[in-house]
């Protein structure tokens, strides 16, 4: 019988997906606030979305880097 590692946990995957969603939402909201202050809400939201996606890529790379051994 093979023992599963802690890295194969479905709870870990669910936590990662939740963290990614929260990260993108926060970045979009901050982009909205900054864009509102600077006068261009659409640009702020798009920049917030781009930053949120970039930080998600970094987060996934860090989590998957743990599994490489």
pLDDT, one tens digit for every residue, the chain (69 residues):
566 666 678 998 899 999 999 999 999 999 999 999 999 999 999 999 999 999 999 999 998 886 555
The residue among 9, 5, 20, 2 whose CA lies nearest residue 69 is 5
Question: Between the CA of residue 56 and those of 5, 40, 53, what are the distances in Å?
Answer: 24, 24, 5
pLDDT score, position 7: 66
The H-or-E segment that residue 67 falls in is helix 41-67
CA angle, 29 as apex, 25 and 35 as ends, to 5°?
140
């Amino acid at each position: 019988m093979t023992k599963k590692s802690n890295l194969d946990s479905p709870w870990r995957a669910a936590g990662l997906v939740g963290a990614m969603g929260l990260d993108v939402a926060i970045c979009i909201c901050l982009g909205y606030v900054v864009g509102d202050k600077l006068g261009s809400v659409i640009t702020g939201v798009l920049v917030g979305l781009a930053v949120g996606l970039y930080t998600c890529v970094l987060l996934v790379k860090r989590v998957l880097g743990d599994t490489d051994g």
